[in-house]
Structure 1
Amino acid sequence: MDDDQQLRYSRHLLLDEWSEAAQERLLSAHALVIGAGGLGAPALMYLASAGVGRITVMDPDTVDLTNLQRQIAHTTDRVGQAKVLSAQLAIAQLNPGVRVHAIAQAADDALLAEWVPQADVVLDCTDRFAIRQTINRACRQAGVPLVSASAVRFDGQISVFDPRVPEAPCYACLFPPDAPPEETRCAMLGVFAPVVGMMGVMQAGEAIKLLAGLTEAGAPGHHQSLAGRLLIFDGRDWSWTAMRARRNPVCPVCGTPPPTRD
């Protein structure tokens, strides 16, 4: 790190668990953020401010006036601009040392097959069940940890699905692909802005800890990722519920399918 970087990241470097090596790991890391909306906007800002050296952001949408109630990477004068370009500009203003690759396309099998293996961590900041399943499959196949969250109304949830942890479940273990929930997008049901911000910030926090190595065996402190746990948040009374998340042995993505009968 140069002198400017030492100063920029000094508040992290003062932490007992945070070494120059941890910061160097962040500076050389690559995070793929899928979605630059309510979850992705705050997540992107904290990834950039912490010094994640390379960020790829993927989103097909443009900034709309209704987004500005919660999507803090965007501004009024960028209404109508591609969200990924708006986020790229916001990151450049915050931390010009971060390299940002903007992809103004919807995530699909081909894009994910190209970009997920290049990433050190993936943040699922989307709001559709089908694409969440697609992202999960891509991460599982590539062996890349996935930080997934959602928020609607006053409710939020977050977990980490890490293929490197043998006993940890994948997204499909908790939410089977053949049992889609009712449509719960915030465009239809609304969302309390601080809740979606909290979930996005926590996604960044989980990703940063993974990238810096804070959750690895032997790392200083007692940091533990959310792999194997699902946190559910209720913004009505600011309460949290923690649930153990177990791997499904017959999960269609990460499990062993039952034997077929002749």
Structure 2
Amino acid sequence: MKKDNIFDRYSRQIFIEEIGVAGQRKIMDAKVLVVGAGGLGSPVVQYLAAAGIGKLGLVDFDRVEIHNLNRQIIHSEDNIHQAKTESATAYIRQHNSTIDFEPFQVKIDADNALAMLAPYHIIVDCCDNFTTRYLLNQTCLQLDKPLVYGSIYGFEGQLAVFNYQGSKNLLDIFPTPPDPEQVPNCDKNGVLGPLPGIIGSMMAMQVLKIVTGLPVDSNQLTLVNTFHWRFSKLLF
């Protein structure tokens, strides 16, 4: 993309005093890996791609199903039964074909996590199970990479930034994973569509703040209750 086109595309970010041309260059040099292309991953991918993240990786092994469509807004009816990474690739090509988008249709596990996370500067946890969450946390600690964490359920969501500039991590607030049989999930208990849009957008904002060197709150868990419309912070 020519310089003039770059400025035109990202001008509304560049006009922000705290971002400017230097900040946009940082965004375009950044490498971010998003794990999960579902309710949280959809808005994260949308806004990071729109901002011009230089290299954007996306990991997901699942396929699009019709019940995903109330919240997983990078996918459409035409994508049903497609791999979510394939659907996301089509979205990225239409919205911002200039970024380096790298889809991985695999499941992250103990055998591949280090190799997959190592090339990226920031990891974004948009997954839906605690096994993967704890693996991502452990791997980010090994690689000394920041981890942007989010989760959703019903009307409620959580958000935190772990392992950033010496800050605490997932184990400091949740030392042990819960019993999988006692963990609620969207498939069984449901979620109202805009909630992951809210939390995912907040996660994307935290990523962009990290990339551009803006202040990022750490050692705290942001709690969002959209039923009673309450926002609170839990320090840890």
TM-score normalized by the length of structure 1:
0.86
Larger Rg: 1
1:49-72 per-residue CA deviation (whole Å, 9 max, x = no partner) reads 001011110000001000000001
**Partner residue of 2:69?**
68
**Partner residue of 2:38?**
37
Q: Which runs of 5+ in 1 are unaligned?
A: 215-223, 246-262
Report the Cα offset of residue 180 of structure 1: 4.0
Q: How does 1:1-20 map to 2 (within 5 A)?
A: 2-20=3-21
Instruction: State the distance in 2 between where 1:97 and 1:180 align.
Output: 43
1:12-69 per-residue CA deviation (whole Å, 9 max, x = no partner) reads 1111111211101111111000000000011000000001011110000001000000
Instruction: State the distance in 1 between where 2:200 and 2:164 align.
Output: 21
Q: Work out whether residues 140 and 163 of structure 1, in 8 Å CA contact, stay in contact via their aligned partners in 2.
A: no
Q: How does 1:68-217 map to 2 (within 5 A)?
A: 68-165=69-166, 168-180=167-179, 182-214=182-214
Q: Which runs of 5+ in 2 are unaligned?
A: none
Give the counterpart letter for 1:227 in structure 2.
S
Residue identity over aligned pairs, in percent, reads 32
1:71-117 per-residue CA deviation (whole Å, 9 max, x = no partner) reads 01001101011001111111111111111111111111222100212
Cα RMSD for the two superposed structures: 1.2
Instruction: State the distance in 2 between where 1:192 and 1:235 align.
Output: 10
Instruction: State the distance in 2 between where 1:17 and 1:163 align.
Output: 20
Q: Work out whether residues 164 and 218 of structure 2, in 8 Å CA contact, stay in contact via their aligned partners in 1.
A: no
- Counterpart secondary structure, 1:118: coil
Aligned residues: 234
**Partner residue of 1:243?**
234
TM-score normalized by the length of structure 2:
0.96
Instruction: State the distance in 1 between where 2:56 and 2:164 align.
Output: 21
Residues 154 and 91 of structure 1: CA distance in aligned 2, closer, same or farther (over 3 Å):
same
Instruction: State the distance in 1 between where 2:23 and 2:144 align.
Output: 22
**Partner residue of 1:230?**
221
